[in-house]
Amino acid sequence: ANTPSAKKAARKIARQTATNKAVRAYVRKVEEAIVAGDQTAANEAFKVAQPEIMRASNKGVIPANTASRKVSRMNARIKALSA
């Protein structure tokens, strides 16, 4: 990265990568609880994951619609465990 814009892009990519890894980790915990069929664990993991997903959306790391879709689908799968 030699030009100022390239240096800025490198910094931006590093921030986005860190946020993406965090979001993926939170989503993975929810998915594992859903697959295990443990609704209480899934709910607890979801309560932690949902604000992190929306925070990534607000930072512009992931699109707002993508964040809303992920949250909605996870919530629907958790609710389906009780039925």
Confidence class for position 82, pLDDT limits 50, 70, 90:
confident
pLDDT value, residue 83 = 74
Q: pLDDT tens for residues 10-38? A: 999 999 999 999 999 999 999 999 999 99
- pTM confidence score: 0.83
pLDDT value, residue 15 = 93
Q: pLDDT tens for residues 30-62? A: 999 999 999 999 999 999 999 999 999 999 999
SS (H, E, C) 10-62: HHHHHHHHHHHHHHHHHHHHHHHHHHHCCHHHHHHHHHHHHHHHHHHHHHCCC
